[in-house]
Amino acid sequence: MNDRLAGNNTHMALELRPNCECCDKDLPPASEEAYICTFECTFCLDSARDKLGYICANCGGELVRRPIRPAAKLVKNPPSTVRVLRDKPCAPAS
Ligand SMILES: [Zn+2]
Ligand SMILES: [Zn+2]
């Protein structure tokens, strides 16, 4: 399911997922504690730093801070509401 294709976005936009895949912590679009990989696997700062060492638990890629979308842009490009949560223990992908 990919609801961002349903809009009339002219730019590819980040999904801005609403939670950490490891601990289910809420990560609202304005959060400075959201970390993502190139596939937008999304983690909170604590999980990314302490559990993962900034390496994605799913793909082994680099985790970087998710940029904050200006609030005015959230109207046409709202954040994802689909919560993604890992069913496996949170550890760097090998
Ligand atoms: Zn977390
Ligand atoms: Zn990943």
Domain boundaries, the chain: 1-94
pTM score? 0.85
For residue 87, the CA-to-ligand 1 centroid distance in Å is: 13
For residue 8, the CA-to-ligand 1 centroid distance in Å is: 32
Could you give phi then psi for residue 65, rounded to 5 degrees?
A: -65, 135
List CB-based neighbours of ion ligand 1 within 5 Å. 20, 22-23, 25, 44, 47
Residue 69 CA to residue 30 CA, distance in Å, equals 7
Q: Which residues of 17-41 are buried (b: 16+ CB within 10 A; e: fewer)?
A: bbbbbbeebebebebebbbbbeeeb
Q: pLDDT of the chain along its 94 residues, tens only?
A: 555 555 555 668 999 999 999 999 999 999 999 999 999 999 999 999 999 999 999 999 999 999 999 999 999 999 999 999 999 888 888 6
